[in-house]
A and B are shown apart, each in its own frame.
Chain A
Amino acid sequence: MGSYIIRRLSSAVPVMAIVAIIVFLLLHLAPGDPAAIMAGDNPTPEAIAQIRQQLGLAEPLWRQFLLWVVNLTHGDLGQSIVWGEPVTRLIAQRAEPTISLALTTSVFAVPIALVLGIAAAAKAGTAFDRCVMGFAVLDFSIPLFVVGYVLIFLFSIKFKWLPVQGYSPIANGVGPWLRSLTLPTLALGLPYVALIARITRATMLEVLSEDYMRTARAKGVGSARLLLKHALKNAALPIVTVIGMGVGFLIGGAIVTETVFNIPGIGRLVVDGITRRDYPIIQGVTLILSGVYMLVNLLVDLSYALFDPRIRY
């Protein structure tokens, strides 16, 4: 188990390094002069020169990269061009709504998806199964923002049950916090439910067709116990993997969801960053969210070693 953990950790390091290089190079490989684009419409030469100075673009590429890496190790992601504040501080300020949304979405989506997926596998081929799978395909196909606007239109504008948009920090009370997150969680959660339910069903079906399941059935193991103990235990790894990979989907979805519901999270930060061409913000958020995604998947992989005694390599 120890060597598995070391192996997995050592393979994560080069990938993280390559991610850092890609994120760094994006700025430099983009055609045109990034400083001129960031300076906005009709920039003065002085404004362009100032941005170039601020980003250190006049230095040779390798020095810029070294400087960037050294700053990274100090937790310095540079300064926002628009707000003039450190990128890390801006991200920290905006983290609460995004983390809240990711949490409520996972808490909402994962249990529902597991129940739907397991039930569909148990009743494979029936009308119920076909309904669940149809719902999953539909969920994959509706864009997040369309779901979001339909929800706002129904529950906020027509029935006036929930706030239209915005976010209420948890410090102002759990009730308003939950109310402000209800619709965003539904919008972001639906495709997530579809994703996990599909994989759960497929994996369960595969496990159910194994010889040892037939043996268990022949032994007279009850169907609920068969499903939950014998099958789910063996199906757990692929399902956990997909939940981990789904975090990437959650991150991307959060950017759109925060825009639809006007939630001042990290996603809004990056969208504001785009419209104002604030490259340090885009670079910083991309790097941090990629890091979070890799970390989650690293933890998922490491958890295999705990869940599955077969992993010893």
Chain B
Amino acid sequence: MAAVLNTTAAVPLRVHAGLGEFVLRNPTIVLGVALLAIIGIAAVAAPLLTGDPMAISPSDRLLSPDAEHWFGTDSFGRDVFARTIQGARISLAVGLSVAVLSIIIGLVIGLVAGYYRRVDGIIMRFMDAMMAIPSILLAIALVALTKGGIGIVIIAISLPEIPRVVRLVRSVVLSTRELAFVEAAVASGSRDFKIIRRHILPSAVAPVIVQATFIIAAAMLSEAALSFLGIGVPPEIPTWGNMISAHKLYLARAPWTIFFPGAFLTVVVLAVNLLGDGLRDRLDPRLARRM
């Protein structure tokens, strides 16, 4: 029976004849992955590619971009290129951490809320309330009362994402549990945990993966916004938001200190969004029609 169930539960990714056809059929996925791969490799190889992002050189303050400093230097004479590449590491790390954290917690709560109708009402009212608080304010309130640090920023950005995951997972559970194979499993006396894990969870995988990409994009934007407002990652760490925040007053004199980190942030978020759009069209046709 299990073999039959598995084919209905998971949405299979069709394998195409060749790479060329895959590229033609999924231009957004390919473009997104390519952009992410380039920036990801640059981020990992940052120490080999660039000079020291923290090296201060007072005599080289606010130099415009040239052969030595591709992206110019900032108000401390630090190399903007080195700092921008370094910023990719933190931005990607925060985005991935937030996605993992909020998906795991949201998945558990969503499965419970969807499967056990008795607690559903309470959980969903609580989720509605969390969604009613504008996410940036929730994050601000959390960060403001702690000493800060990357860990708190990740938690503060994850928290508002959880209700969205819960809603998605719950809706999958609600529609799946009515299906005949779940009823059959219930009737045959399977334990709740086994039913959820083997019969319901597989249906949630595809939409959750799609959701995860959008969370990564949103999280990177949130992290940058919080850092920009001066309450994100500690200011000495070169994130894109911090770099822009620190050079607000140099916009007229040294626009490169703002535009390069801004452009990188945009390209990375765009790449993730393109990947998400492509995956959604591919994995979750029901959702794709609605968006």
Does any Cβ of B come within 8 Å of A140's Cβ?
A: yes
Query: In the assembled complex, how far is the CB of residue B257 from the closest CB belonging to chain A, in whole angstroms?
Result: 10
Contact call A252/B136, Cβ cutoff below 8 A: yes
Contact call A22/B145, Cβ cutoff below 8 A: no
> Interface code B247-291, partner A: CB below 8 Å = 1, 0 otherwise?
000011001001100110110011001100100000000000111
Contact call A37/B130, Cβ cutoff below 8 A: no
> Interface code A235-279, partner B: CB below 8 Å = 1, 0 otherwise?
000000000000010011001100100000000001101110101
* Number of A-B residue pairs with CB-CB distance less than 8 Å in the complex they form: 155
Query: How far, in angstroms, from A31 to B148 measured CA to CA in the complex?
Result: 11
Q: Which residues in window 197-245 of B have CB below 8 A to A?
A: 217, 221, 224-225, 228-231, 244
User: Total interface residues on A, using CB and 8 Å?
Assistant: 55
Known contacts A23-B141, A152-B251, A290-B133; A15/B266 CB under 8 A: no
Does any Cβ of A come within 8 Å of B52's Cβ?
A: no
Flag the segment in B56-64, B97-105, B106-114, B121-129 that touches A: B121-129
Does any Cβ of A come within 8 Å of B135's Cβ?
A: yes
Minimum CB distance partner of A283 in chain B: B141
Q: Provide the residues of chain B in CB contact with A140, threshold 8 Å.
A: 217, 269, 273
Q: Which of A27, A277, A282, A289 contacts B134 (CB 8 A)?
A: A289
Query: In the assembled complex, how far is the CB of residue B92 from the closest CB belonging to chain A, in whole angstroms?
Result: 15
Query: In the assembled complex, how far is the CB of residue A109 from the closest CB belonging to chain B, in whole angstroms?
Result: 18
Q: Which of B135, B145, B221, B251 contacts A34 (CB 8 A)?
A: B145
Majority SS of interface residues in chain B? helix
Query: In the assembled complex, how far is the CB of residue B81 from the closest CB belonging to chain A, in whole angstroms?
Result: 18
Contact call B146/A22, Cβ cutoff below 8 A: no
Known contacts A145-B228, A153-B255, A256-B228; A202/B289 CB under 8 A: yes
Contact call A282/B140, Cβ cutoff below 8 A: yes
Contact call B142/A30, Cβ cutoff below 8 A: yes
16 new A-B contacts at CB < 8 Å, known A141-B270, A149-B251, A282-B144 = A32-B146, A138-B266, A143-B262, A144-B225, A146-B244, A153-B255, A198-B291, A252-B137, A255-B140, A256-B136, A256-B225, A259-B228, A259-B229, A282-B137, A283-B141, A286-B138
